[in-house]
């Protein structure tokens, strides 16, 4: 009798393993598609504000890095995160422009190549276009 139950148990284990593999594959595909969709939304429709870098952390065994930052949108402080490839502790406690998707503010990216002077304060409604420094007048040009 034990010989009859062994094949059934092996078959059940194989079925369970196959189900787990299929579910993991579906989830992975969904995550990849969702990632591309979020990036497309961010690139197509975005606003700008100012972010303040609060920390940099390692994640995973691959040595990836995440920059955490706070930003103010509609008088609310929101924590954002952006993946980076190179550690630069000089960005800690510094301000940079942040591009975000207005309908899902957690869909955002800090622009580490765009530092912000302490003189510039974020507007209450944020910016449709990123302000820039007018070198001839040595001040920010907010008339875009």
Cβ-Cβ contacts under 8 Å for 44 (sequence gap 6 or more):
none
pLDDT digits (tens, 9 = 90+) for 83-136: 998 889 999 999 999 999 888 888 889 999 989 988 888 777 788 888 765 555
Residue bearing tokens 């952006």: 82
Cα distances from 86 to residues 20, 95, 113, 114, in angstroms, run: 35, 18, 13, 16
Angle 123-97-37 from CA coordinates, rounded to 5°? 105
Q: What is the mean pLDDT of the chain?
A: 79
Domain residue ranges in the chain? 1-44, 47-141
From 25-29, 52-56, 122-126, 138-142, the region with the lowest mean pLDDT: 138-142
Judged by DSSP in three states, 22 sits in helix
> Residue 83 gets which letter from DSSP?
E
Question: What kind of fold does domain 47-141 have according to CATH?
Answer: OB fold (Dihydrolipoamide Acetyltransferase, E2P) (2.40.50)
Q: Do the beta carbons of residue 96 and residue 108 sit within 8 Å?
A: no
């Amino acid at each position: 009798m034990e010989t009859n139950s062994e094949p059934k148990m092996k078959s059940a284990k194989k079925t369970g393993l196959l189900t787990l593999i299929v579910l993991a594959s579906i989830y992975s595909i969904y995550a990849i598609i969702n990632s591309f969709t979020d990036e497309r939304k961010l690139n197509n429709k975005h606003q700008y504000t100012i972010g303040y870098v609060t920390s940099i952390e390692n994640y995973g065994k691959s040595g990836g890095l995440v920059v955490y930052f706070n930003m103010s949108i509609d008088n609310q402080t929101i924590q954002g995160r952006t993946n980076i490839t190179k550690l630069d502790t000089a960005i800690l406690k510094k301000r940079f422009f942040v591009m975000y998707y207005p309908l899902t503010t957690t869909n955002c990216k800090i622009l580490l190549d765009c530092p912000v002077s302490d003189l510039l304060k974020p507007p209450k409604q944020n910016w449709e276009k990123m302000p820039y420094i007018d070198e001839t007048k040595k001040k920010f040009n907010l008339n875009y």
